[in-house]
């Protein structure tokens, strides 16, 4: 997996218009295979309705939404960058914002950040999460 961030755009009908190389690498799906399809086709089935509601809210109200992996895990189903005991899917921090052309709303732009390794480390070392990176008197994170 390459480092970076996934970026995709949806039109007002919530159909994929662009899908960058990072997403192609992460999912194994090229932009030509996903263009024109609904994003919810690539969401976890149990979350597709919720994701549709969030996308509709962003378009309708002009809000920006951040979907934390702690609550939402992922928006686009794809494997983690490496085999992990705790996760079957990549854990994603997702930002969804309005996309405009001049004053017209033309859709949404979505960024997807892979935070799987960070979440896996926190699961492996729960003392990091409980003590803000410190275990007892010893600093567990070093520069």
pLDDT digits (tens, 9 = 90+) for 62-84: 999 998 766 666 778 886 665 55
Q: Name the nearest CA neighbour of 108 among 10, 28, 5, 7.
A: 10
User: Please, what is the average pLDDT of the chain?
Assistant: 79
CA distance 109 to 8: 6
Q: Report the percent of the chain where pLDDT is more than 70.
A: 66
**What letters, b where the CB count within 10 A reaches 16 and e where it falls short, cover 44-64?**
beebbeebeebbeebbeeeee
pLDDT class of 60 with cuts at 50, 70, 90: very high
User: Is residue 106 predicted with pLDDT exceeding 60?
Assistant: yes
pLDDT of residue 84: 58
User: By CB neighbour count within 10 A (0-12 exposed, 13-18 middle, 19+ buried), where does 104 fall?
Assistant: exposed
CA distance 46 to 27: 19
Taking a C-beta distance cutoff of 8 angstroms, is the pair 5, 21 a contact?
Answer: no
Other beta carbons within 10 angstroms of residue 28's beta carbon come to: 10
Greatest Cα-to-Cα distance within the chain, rounded to the nearest angstrom: 55
- Of 120 and 116, which is predicted with more confidence? 116
């Amino acid at each position: 997996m390459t480092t970076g961030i996934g970026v995709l755009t949806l039109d007002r009908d919530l159909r994929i218009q662009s899908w960058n190389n990072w997403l192609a690498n992460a999912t194994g799906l090229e932009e030509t295979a996903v263009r024109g399809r609904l994003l919810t086709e690539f969401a976890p089935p149990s979350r597709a309705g919720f994701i549709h509601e969030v996308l509709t809210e962003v378009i309708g109200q002009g809000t920006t939404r951040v979907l934390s992996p702690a609550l939402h895990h992922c928006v686009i189903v794809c494997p983690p960058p490496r085999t992990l005991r705790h996760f079957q899917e990549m854990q994603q921090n997702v930002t969804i914002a309005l996309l405009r052309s001049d004053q017209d709303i033309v859709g949404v732009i979505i960024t997807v950040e892979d935070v799987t390794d960070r979440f896996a480390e926190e699961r492996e070392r729960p003392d990091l999460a409980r003590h803000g990176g410190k275990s007892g008197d010893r600093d567990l994170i070093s520069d």
